[in-house]
Amino acid sequence: MWSFGGITLETYVLQFHILMCHNVQHILVICPWPVLNTCIIATAFVVVSWFARKATIEIQKQVSSRFEENVKYMPVHQEDTK
């Protein structure tokens, strides 16, 4: 089960791009009824944020796997402190 905590970064970044328009002076309106408009916009916003999070994770995996192929790691030895 997922929670909203997993998509908070995406919601923070996307709120300006999805929810607000015209230089942050107007709110996006899809239908004339305020309650229905809020439900549609909120659902779309959460879905887009969730997909953005999935894309972010996939991009991180791709970049980190490419980076690890080119880096030689030096083993770190820990001394016993007995």
Half-sphere exposure of 61 (CA within 13 A, CB side): 6
In this structure, what token pair is assigned to residue 43?
Answer: 């659902």
What average pLDDT does the segment 21-34 reach?
80
Which residues, 6 or more positions from 46, have their beta carbon under 8 angstroms from its beta carbon? 4, 7, 11
| C-beta of residue 7 within 8 angstroms of C-beta of residue 46 | yes
Q: Could you report the per-residue pLDDT of 32-81, keeping only the tens digit for each?
A: 999 999 899 889 989 999 999 999 888 888 887 776 666 665 555 555 55
Four-point Cα dihedral 19, 25, 30, 36, nearest 10: 70
Given a cut of 80, whether residue 19 has pLDDT beyond it is no
Predicted local distance difference test score (pLDDT) of residue 35 = 94
